[in-house]
Amino acid sequence: MTAFKRVLFAFTIILSGFSVWAQYEPGENFDKDWLFYNDENPNGQQPELDDSKWRQVNLPHDWAIEGPFSSEYNARYGGLPIHGTGWYRKHFTMPATAKGKVVRLEFEGAMYNAHVWVNGNLVGNRPYGYIGFEFDISEYLKYDGSDNVVAVRLTPQDLSSRWYPGAGIYRSVWLKIDNPVYVDQWGTYITTPTATPEKATVQIETNVVNKSADNQQITVTHEYLDPSGTKVGSAKEDLEIPAGQTGTSALYTIIESPKLWDLDAPHLYTAVTTLTVDGQVTDTYRSTFGIRSIRYTRDAFYLNEKQVRFNGVCLHHDNGALGAAVYRRADERKLQIMKEMGVNAIRTSHNPPSRTFLELCDELGLLVQDEAFDVWKMEKVPNGYNLFFEEWGELDLKDMIVRDRNHPSIVMWSIGNEIIEQRDKKNGWTVAKKLHDVCRATDPTRPTSVGLNYYPAPYDNNMAQQVDVVGMNYKPSRYSEVRSNYPGLPIYGSETSSCTSSRGVYHLPIEKYKTHPSLQVTSYDLIGPGWAYPPDIEFHFQEKNPYVMGEFIWTGFDYLGEPTPYGGRDNSTNGYWNDDWPARSSYFGAVDLCGFPKDRFYLYQSQWTEKPMIHLLPHWNWAGMEGENIPVYAYTNCDEAELFLNGKSLGRKVKGVDKTTILIDFFRYEPKTFESPYRLSWEVPYEAGELKVVGYKDGRQVSEKVIRTAGKPAKVRLSVDRNRIAADGRDLAYVTVRIEDKDGNLCPNADNLVTFDVRGAGKLIAVDNGNAATLESFQDTKRKAFSGMALAILNSGEKAGTITLTAKSKGLKGAKIQVQTE
């Protein structure tokens, strides 16, 4: 393992390649055919309980997303029933051949305070809903073919977090049957102390469990497969492990001319670990890893010795209309959309993500800050994780790291976000040090971090100095001051901007307001709460202070709950956010709850991508405002842009030279306007027709965007992200719904009700429209358009065939689309 060394002005961490996830072999996915009961039941754990009338569900399952929306619930959590008691039960049989083996039940996550019984015996509990856990259930099972019952009770509470947590067994469950000698849970740890294009040193530590009654001589063998599946190396070691104990094997292998894991080429290798006793194979365990190096100085982050800035986003764990339940395709689509925006890094705000999410970051080439907590001992909300931190905090942090440390995508561990202990002069820094030490002991190859929103308290109180890389939340004007006062601290923007907007909504005249009677927020990208500021401000201070390693904007996607600027105040304990009901979801995202980009998406894209692009706003339907000036903005990475109205040039402007005055007003910053070099703008007297902007690089036209005045709504148009999906019961197809005029132009103000009918080899699992202030059910068969658009999500069945979706709207021409499952 690479030593960690830090001095005042020169700070370097070198670390490389990792295993990714262990595939459970032998083992069984345990997600199907559970029974669910959403209420108290004093006998829910008893095997003889009559559960024949309980509802049958497959996991992962989030009961809260089913609703209904109600002002009786807290808009802070989406106005959904995230609290109460939920029971899950599953009946299963065990073969006689499993007797004498080790049977474990693994939960990837259950929200929250899970208690697990097997055949009426309590086998354990785990409070934190975001962490995985497993129990050895061997002694509680019947192996004679008779019925076994596993029962799980969850008791999530209101005011338990600051956003929508979901409720239920919302991540997968696995049943693992092993011989008495096996690789432990999350049992491999792969690093590459050397990782160059010429050579890699692959180092693997393997925890081997011996639950037999005898001492065992065990041979541990590793074979390494390159991304094409070709064997490129191996290692072997004999290990003696006493009865009932766990031993560790440590080996290394040289791989010549490796393919490095990188943002544009995320190559993944596989390690196949085999355990043999007396020539008999007792376990086979597969780990996937990437070969790469990372290095931090006080001024920069390096991936494979190339400097990389964090073009990052913060993401909560929900997937909008699907709630907190983990669907691989939902996370994949989310991350693909983020990459299209130019994102190269994700902050898992503010909790451990799912294993599936991290697998996808590995596969797609995204850097990850893996974050453990939003709270330590001092509460933000009355029923938060602070109730469990004293007993469980260190174990939960360690388990997060042991589970996740093999992912090549992860480049730092965050021990907390906006922790209230920032102001605790006596104890705050000691807790931070303790958590930092847990990280360093468990994985010395990555730095620690923390997201600090107070200034200067945590720096004066010695908390910031306890981590390796300091995250600053909403303090762009203080970057230079921190560098001057604390020159040895590497820094980055761990949470930035917090600009809010509603897709397709434009309020005129442009003004800086706190809230709007419509419960929407203008998409001119300048509104936010008191701590917030437009993206341009962060761009400016990052350029002015190039030692800041980048930023993670709040947020990439809208999320359920926390409908700032409506309904409440952040961090307020005992707080219900229903004052502006029905505002019930986030407005922070650069992308709305459906996954449809807002205008801000393109502002970031103009700064974070190189492929020529140009974006134009607002829409061009302003009947009744003929002759009045409409502010028109262009976001582009081109050198120049020229605007045309009905074929007539309104002038060419140069990015960075022709600046746009934007309104600002945020804490600790005096100016109330900012001359933005990141936006081009024109004041255009409105007349219906065609608005076109052309982008030029080196004097040559390379991009254009056209917006036309739409006529009356005439038809529904459907498009699907993929027309072939897996017939596995879990895959998804996302269908975009547009209300168009007779010529195919989007009707930007349309709110027509669209009704859906699905036939064939799948079902309609959710609908949405991106409106953060509507009480329409996500699980209905109809949805109004919002700013002319809506979304339908199709879920495959388990048989190959065709899913046919038909969409109808009164007075409009309907549409039909088909998706093949295979």
Which positions are catalytic? 418, 495
Question: Which residues lie closer than 8 Å to 50 by C-beta, 6 or more apart?
Answer: none
* CA 507 to each of CA 380, 567, 596, 631, 684: distance values in angstroms, whole numbers, following the listed order: 34, 20, 20, 11, 16
CA–CA gap between residue 623 and residue 709 (Å, rounded): 9
Using DSSP, state whether 389 is helix, strand or coil: helix
| Two tokens, residue 55 | 């509802």
Tokens of 325: 């339940």
Cis peptide before 582 (omega within 30 of 0): yes
Q: How far apart are CA 527 and CA 512, in angstroms?
A: 6
Q: What is the CA radius of gyration of the chain?
A: 27
Helix (H) or strand (E) holding 479: helix 479-485
* CB contact burial 263-277 (16+ within 10 A = b; e otherwise): beebbbbbbbbbbbb
The residue type found at 85 is T
- Would you tell me how many other CB atoms lie within 10 Å of the CB of residue 659? 18
CB 28, CB 42: distance < 8 Å: no
Residues 225 and 270: their CA atoms lie apart, in Å, by 5
Pair 370, 349: CB distance under 8 Å: no
**Contact of 380 with 374, CB cutoff 8 Å:** yes
Instruction: List b or e across 612-632, with b for residues whose CB sees 16 or more CB atoms inside 10 angstroms.
Output: bbbbbbbbbbbeeeeeeebbb
Residues 6 or more apart in contact with residue 26 via CB below 8 angstroms: 176, 177, 178
CB 13 within 8 A of CB 447: yes
Distance CA(693)–CA(699), nearest Å, equals 15
142-148, Cβ contacts within 8 angstroms, sequence gap of 24 or more: 142/94, 143/94, 143/95, 143/96, 143/98, 143/99, 144/96, 145/93, 145/94, 145/95, 145/96, 146/93, 147/47, 147/91, 147/92, 147/93, 148/47, 148/91, 148/92, 148/93, 148/94, 148/118, 148/119
Beta bridge partners of 82: none
Q: Please name the helix (run of DSSP H) or strand (run of DSSP E) that holds residue 360, with its range, or none.
A: helix 355-364
At residue 125's C-alpha, the angle toward residues 122 and 127, to 5°, is 160
Using alpha carbons only, give the angle 266, 270, 273 rounded to the nearest 5 degrees: 155
Amino acid at site 773: A
Distance CA 596, CA 755 (A): 20
- In a 13 Å sphere around the CA of 637, the CA atoms on its Cβ side amount to 14
Element (DSSP H or E) covering residue 306: strand 306-307
> What are the contacts of 33-37 at 24+ separation with CB within 8 A?
33/58, 33/90, 33/91, 34/58, 34/59, 34/61, 34/88, 34/89, 34/90, 34/169, 35/88, 35/89, 35/90, 35/91, 36/61, 36/63, 36/86, 36/87, 36/88, 36/168, 37/86, 37/87, 37/89
Q: Residue-wise over 516-547: b if at least 16 C-beta within 10 A, else e?
A: beebbbbbbbbbbbebbbbbbbbbbbbeebeb
Torsion of CA 152, 158, 159, 163, to 10 degrees: 80
